[in-house]
Structure 1
Amino acid sequence: MLVGVGLGPGDPELLTLRAVRLLREAAAVFVPGKLAYDLVQPYRPDAVVLKFPMTSDEDYIRRCLEENADRIAPQALDGLVVFGIIGDPNFYSTFSRLCEVIGEHYPEISFATEPGISSITAFASVANVPVAGGFLVSDGSGLESRIFMKVRRPAALAADLKERGYSEFVLVERMFLPEQQVYRGDDLPEESDYFSILFARRPHE
């Protein structure tokens, strides 16, 4: 199994307890650069630094992803492998692209992620900017996804979003609590808990 572990925004004190545990338990640890290595080094000085170029050359990026996939896969086939990444592995990260390539060549490998403190939430603390109400986050590309918090009537909200072109829905209630529930697609309840998040995505245009 390959687990993408968020290492937070760069401060070693902002690693989660779960991140530290997984780093210690893993058969092997890989990271995409020196900053990530410096964060995991106290727990895994044997971590392997892989090359992930910052370039717009998609062919070169693809070759590097395939080379990295071939280095990671043999160990992920036999045990727990951690890929430590700055921020959160599901927000604008290299990990999802890496999983796509590994999945193409090594479909027997399973994937999971563990959250880290992202730059989006860390920014508010550093800048002392409290955030309330709706806000927009973008990497400059199209706005295909929306996240709604405190969703009390998820089925009705999803129906409204369908009329605006959204077709993929995921609702999570009381996440990381014992009674956590995850609903997908059209299987959304009429009413939901206060501690709930609805993710909606429409096809890329």
Structure 2
Amino acid sequence: MLVAVGIGPGDPELLTLKAVRLIEDADAVFVPGNVAKDIISPFRKDPVALSFPMTDDQEYIKECMEKNAEIIAPFARRGLAVFCILGDPNFYGTFGRLCEIIDKKYPEIEYETVPGISSITAFASASGVSVNGGITITDGSDVNSRIMLKIRNPKETAESLKSEGYNEFVLAEKMYMKDQKIYKNEELPENSAYFSVMFARIK
């Protein structure tokens, strides 16, 4: 099993209890460089640092991803391998690209993610900014996704967004609570709970 663990924006005290437990219990821990290594140092002294280059050279990035997957695979096959990622592993992280390689070369390896404090929410606290209303978050590329909170009529909302070109929809209801439910596309219900988040994307 391979678990990608979000380790937050930089302060070791901002790791979740679950993140710390997994880091301490893992058979092997991998980090994408010295910054992540320093963040988890209070909890683990033997992480393996992997190379994830900051470059626009897509071929070189793919080559590094394949090498990293090859290093991680033996540990993930026989035990628990933890890959630590700054912020949140699913929020502008490298884990998705690594999983594409694993799916192709090591389909027998199961993986999952554990959320961490992302740079977006960390920014709000660090700067004292209170975020309300609609916002746009981008890494400089075209905006093709929306995240909407407190959606009470997801099916109707999805139908409206289809006219704007959106064609992929996911609804998360009561996340990480005992009644959590995840709906995708045609599964979307007519109504949902107050604690709901809806994701829409143009694919």
TM-score (normalised: structure 1): 0.97
- Whole-angstrom CA distance in 2 between matches of 1:114 and 1:72: 18
The gaps in structure 1 that reach 5 residues or longer are: none
1:189 matched to 2:194: no
**Deviation for aligned residue 1:48:** 0.2
Q: Please give the per-residue CA displacement for 1:24-65, whole angstroms capped at 9, x wherever unaligned.
A: 111110000101001122222111000111111111111111
Structure 1 segments, 4+ long, off by >2 Å, are: none
Count residues in correspondence.
203
Tell me the secondary structure at the aligned position of residue 164 of structure 1.
coil
- Whole-angstrom CA distance in 1 between matches of 2:104 and 2:127: 41
| Percent identity of paired positions between Structure 1 and Structure 2 | 58
Aligned to 1:122: 122
Q: Please give the per-residue CA displacement for 1:97-121, whole angstroms capped at 9, x wherever unaligned.
A: 1111121110111110000000000
Aligned to 2:171: 171
- Whole-angstrom CA distance in 1 between matches of 2:136 and 2:17: 30
Aligned to 1:62: 62
Aligned to 1:143: 143
Aligned to 1:134: 134
Where in structure 2 are the equivalents of 1:1-150 lying within 5 Å? 1-150=1-150
**Deviation for aligned residue 1:170:** 0.7
**Deviation for aligned residue 1:163:** 1.5
TM-score (normalised: structure 2): 0.98
- Whole-angstrom CA distance in 1 between matches of 2:42 and 2:103: 30
- Whole-angstrom CA distance in 1 between matches of 2:191 and 2:55: 45
Q: RMSD of aligned C-alpha atoms?
A: 0.8
- Whole-angstrom CA distance in 1 between matches of 2:60 and 2:196: 40
**Deviation for aligned residue 1:179:** 0.9
Q: Please give the per-residue CA displacement for 1:69-119, whole angstroms capped at 9, x wherever unaligned.
A: 100001101111100010000011111111111211101111100000000
